[in-house]
Chain A
């Protein structure tokens, strides 16, 4: 079991300090996520879940504590090595899609591969395959502006998956979508999970969290021992 851990956080603390004021966003979080798990990190805004997501995604570094991705300690790495880990291990899906507006869908999708040093022909093949897997095989040449919100988020998911990362990390992926598009996107995540990939969704929405296998509730910078989901959903899960 220990060998199969994709993520292992050990007593991680994160303190933001601006001048005199110190703000402890995470106060000793320990967490293990195994390979193939489908996990939701739930919490209201200000709970520290975004900070947790940034640290899980190596977008930010912990003030204290140890963080391992697939057995590799990343808590002491510099920006160059962290960039390497992000490119190799992690696929991001953001709330605001974060696509480059001037590039076509497949160009956006191949971007992480170009930073990983994959050759152009191989990149295009894999980018096209990734877009087909999220149902956008017809929209390869479209720019983000020519796509609907749901379609843009699917391009972003294709971009996150194209590097075949150890972990797919999604931060409020449905936050900018209408409910129909949101359901479609969550279906895509279910499908990604079924294909065996580790998926972590960060959300404030229990309806979203409910679809996953395991919900981790964050409150006041700590993980609650027992998730306090609203009664109806708690019964279902």
Chain B
């Protein structure tokens, strides 16, 4: 009996047991689709989180002022002192003193009311340098960020977050319009692209002006040159710790402090946050892979049972085929073809369903699902493997029986 014949026989047998074949296929299908979706959901969540972490700015160090100790010896909280200045930021930006620092953006901010005619909106106005979009990983939706000239001149220009722009100008094009802060008119030269929220900070509700403009017109602080935060971008992820060392040494020097433990500033990095989050989501992925494995196992056991029952029921048929001259080998091959066909049909449909849902669900759920091809092929291999093993093994045993025993079986 040739392979072609065997395949024809196998397919005919599958058609003649339609209900059982459908059940087997559905079992495999659901198992594989479940694996694709659970693994995909895990990877998607991981991707979402790592994206929102990197949206905070990549390779970033954050320098904040240290605490003030009052004359009574009471230490204030971090950030309460005004020890960081624009000069510090400029020094950190020097390529000679700090070669591993790519860019620096100093920020000072306060809450201010913006007015457009009758509409007003209170938001955080930040004074900063031209390097800000680069360091904070922001892009512009409309117009452009302020230029070096604007920064130097302290021009009355302002860049708005997308939400702030929407609050003030509705859906209209905001760039080129103007607004007032304390009766001073500013030209809106750009609107930032959406970024989403990080922790409790809304990254889309803000306004940015040149630092000179900020200190001259908006800042309520008496010490005009002080800044609240300096963001430092390292040249690469690898040089982040070198950049940290350089920044610390430089600032200690500038502030005339010899003992690092007495520093009037603190430097934090997002590295710890990123690695914690990565660990958390690695755990999450392990969990989801575990769930997927259980789904596959349960599906596999279902397939196994159907196959075992199916072959046992067909012991008579095997006996008959042997009585008609079928060699054990021909029986084995027929069941191999049947099990493989069921496995592959179920598997391919399962991959189809899984991938379709993986593409369709994110638009409904709002969370991304990443199709992991290793998971797809792993699930396919396991499901088809289980089907084949438990389809062929009992058939092989039945094929070894003397036909009289097989024919007698009920």
Residues of A near any B CB (own CB < 8 A): 54, 57, 59-61, 79-80, 83-84, 86-88, 92, 94, 98, 100-103, 107, 111-112, 114-117, 120, 159, 163
Contact = CB atoms under 8 A, between A and B. Distances in A.
Nearest to B6: A114
Contacts of B254: none
A149 B23 CA distance: 32
Interface of B: 1, 5, 9, 12-13, 15-17, 316-317, 320-330, 400, 402-405, 407
A86 B325 contact: yes
A15 B317 CA distance: 26
Given A54-B404, A80-B329, A116-B325, A100 B1 contact: no
B323 A92 contact: yes
Contacts of B16: 100-103
A98 B324 CA distance: 11
A111 B328 contact: no
Contacts of B13: 102
A102 B12 contact: yes
Nearest to B405: A60
Contacts of A107: 12
B324 A111 contact: yes
Complex A-B, nearest 10 residue pairs according to Cβ-Cβ distance, in ascending order: A87-B325, A102-B16, A59-B404, A112-B324, A115-B325, A60-B404, A83-B327, A59-B403, A54-B404, A115-B326
A80 B402 CA distance: 11
Nearest to B326: A115
A159 B320 CA distance: 12
B323 A57 contact: yes
Given A98-B316, A163-B325, 11 more contacts: A61-B402, A79-B327, A83-B326, A87-B326, A98-B323, A100-B320, A101-B16, A102-B12, A102-B16, A107-B12, A114-B1
Which secondary structure dominates chain B's binding surface?
helix
A115 B404 contact: no
6 contacts: A59-B402, A83-B327, A87-B326, A112-B324, A114-B9, A115-B321
A88 B324 CA distance: 9
A120 B1 CA distance: 11
Q: Give the most central of B1, B17, B322, B325: most A CB within 10 Å.
A: B325
A95 to B, nearest CB: 11
A115 B15 contact: no
A161 to B, nearest CB: 12
B90 to A, nearest CB: 87
Of the candidates B9, B13, B316, B322, the one having the most CB atoms from chain A within 10 angstroms of its own CB is B322
Given A57-B323, A102-B16, A83 B328 contact: yes
Contacts of A83: 322, 325-328
Contacts of A59: 323, 402-404, 407
B311 to A, nearest CB: 16
Contacts of A114: 1, 5, 9
Contacts of A101: 16
B321 A111 contact: yes
B81 to A, nearest CB: 88
